[in-house]
Structure 1
Amino acid sequence: MYLAVVVLLMGVFPVAAILIESFAFHSDAGLVFLIGKWFVFWAVGMRLLLAGVRQMANPAFTADTIFGIKDKAAEVIVRELGFGNFAIGVLGAVSLLNREWVVPAAIAGGLFYGLAGALHTRNGNRNTNENIAMISDLFIFVVLALYLAATVIKAA
């Protein structure tokens, strides 16, 4: 279930939204903007919003299933991680309402995913779910970094 949610929110849904807006709605927005818009909305907005809600409501899932920590004391820290995920997720989700928020949401989300992915790489005893988290975090970091680089180059 975890893998399916990650693949849908961080790959299938953003790509589908880009294709739908490009071809079905004949958007005049450029491909770079559409990549930023839809990866920020789905991977930063919806993914982190859902992760944040889950971590706030059920911190044991992340502590145990992702990090392999069964100590109840870790749940307080995971719940606080949920607050951060939720806050960044809200920014990513509402960026759909104002195109000028896409870049700030890409910066915040990209930094989060890049740092989290780098931290996962340091754990040599990763379980399957942590590997999924690591790969998806680093993938989205690269997508958002390329989007931001293209945006800066285009603006120059």
Structure 2
Amino acid sequence: MYLAAILVLMAALPLGSVAVEWAVHGGGLVPLALKWFVFWAAGVRLLTAGLRQITKPLFTSRDILGVADPKAAVLVRELGFANTSMGALGMLSLPFPSFLVPAAVTTALFLALAGVQHAMRGGGNAKERIAMVSDLAMAAVLGALVLAAVP
């Protein structure tokens, strides 16, 4: 379920949204890709991750990071507040296009740093490896799209 959610929110929905909007309205593919990757991968993905970390912190601490101590919940909840905030910024980039680049840059930097941390820990269990790969891949996608879109 975790891998499926990652693939849907970070690949299928952004690519599908780009394809539909491009087919219906046309436009440049880079701006469309930036718009929809920020909305889905930065916005919806981080918002849902944040809400889960706030409400069920042990999933992140125990199941992804392998930290069984329930005292870790307070730190995971704070991570959830940060993810929720970044996710809201990404989702708000649809009605407020001026939020697009700041949301992309913030999310790319966050995901790059998180992915490097996962890698430095050795990749951990399967869920942490999924988090590591998806974090690093999306950081690269968002970074490349920002560089391509901004003159």
1:33-64 Cα shifts (integer Å, max 9, x gaps): 11110000000000000000000001011001
CA separation in 1, counterparts of 2:90 and 2:60? 21
Deviation at 1:27, TM superposition (A): 2.8
**Is residue 116 of structure 2 the alignment partner of residue 118 of structure 1?**
yes
Look up the equivalent residue of 2:14 and give its one-letter code: P
CA separation in 2, counterparts of 1:110 and 1:125? 19
Change in Cα spacing, 1:125 to 1:9, as seen in structure 2 (3 Å) is closer
* Count of residues in Structure 1 that have an aligned counterpart in Structure 2: 151
Matches within 5 A, 1:24-39: 25-28=24-27, 30-39=28-37
Unaligned runs of 5+ in 2: none
Quick one: which of 52, 61, 64 aligns to 1:54? 52
Moved over 6 A (4+): none
1:37-95 Cα shifts (integer Å, max 9, x gaps): 00000000000000000000010110011101110110000000000000000000110
**Is residue 15 of structure 2 the alignment partner of residue 15 of structure 1?**
yes
Look up the equivalent residue of 2:126 and give its one-letter code: T
1:103-122 Cα shifts (integer Å, max 9, x gaps): 01001111111110111110
Residue 6 of structure 1 corresponds to 6
Provide the secondary structure at the position in 2 that maps to 1:113. Answer: helix
Look up the equivalent residue of 2:128 and give its one-letter code: E
Matches within 5 A, 1:73-92: 73-92=71-90
Contact kept? 2:123, 2:132, Cα under 8 Å:
no
Deviation at 1:124, TM superposition (A): 1.7
CA separation in 1, counterparts of 2:123 and 2:39? 32
**Is residue 135 of structure 2 the alignment partner of residue 137 of structure 1?**
yes
Unaligned runs of 5+ in 1: none
Matches within 5 A, 1:90-109: 90-109=88-107
